[in-house]
Structure 1
């Protein structure tokens, strides 16, 4: 059974993500200890709330450097979820300008309604893609996932944008660069299709 670290930094749905990983056949490990990140097979970075507060909490616990040294440097698969995906960016523009982790270059910007859409974007919406990605294996384009957010991640390199969602025009809902993955939606709240995505992530970890 693979061990998946769930980064515990005081922000995020760590309980629901841990339960979903267990259902998918993995062993979740809620941790902020450097020694734990040295032995896990994969990592999930959750997040709920504001960009600035979350990145500040990560840095207070030195988790930005720990994850860089023990996960990114060794090519361990890591999945950012919702705000956790946004923290992967270079810069976040939520209530000021904040420096992100920079693992996928890009900027987190506010959603801008184009046809009277409500902000925040809450509920089920489809995820579309053209180029296959192992995180979305056996998940047809157009499947619905559950979203709760007011900001979106705009990658600098279009190749890092794996999938998009039609809301406020269109925003990127899945990103990937090397061993770093992110979903703007909550797979742990997206029922069977969300569990399928988490199983794909676990399979990635088995193959890495």
Structure 2
């Protein structure tokens, strides 16, 4: 009896990456202090004025939080750009010329300080290639039933149109929930829709989010 050779070809995968933030313990206190100082000066909860109706019980800065000359902020931006560059360089091997020199640039950055019952509806980030969330102080989100998870949505829009035993590999409900851990950074492609699920912790959930582009030099 002959055997047919079947080759697996994986196409249209969606890569996400999780890293531990270098020097998190050194950077955290100064960043948190700066965030609360800036938050106290906000005249409105959503200072960015971006999609305020999609956000509830949270404070969001303008989109330039990492654009200061304060040493800890500058170092945070440098590290985040290095992480994104490492991810993109590894993923694009074989697509970039061997001698290409590339830099990653954070073009937008902001904080979220989320209180009891706060959430952010599903959305994606245009005008960049990579996005990230740095969990500076996830509050009680690491505890069961406290919420505050980031939910990522399957970009294959018709993946759930039919379900039987043959589709078990698709992963069920078309979502992937990421439970924040202090000091972690999650990096993902900009087209990937995501949300911050309602948070029910007693202490503030604080993250720094950022958008990156990559440019040759």
What TM-score, normalized by structure 2, do the two folds share? 0.28
Greater CA radius of gyration, 1 or 2? 2
Which structure's relative contact order is higher, taking Cα pairs within 8 Å and 6+ residues apart? 2
What TM-score, normalized by structure 1, do the two folds share? 0.29
Choose between structure 1 and 2: higher helix proportion.
Answer: 1
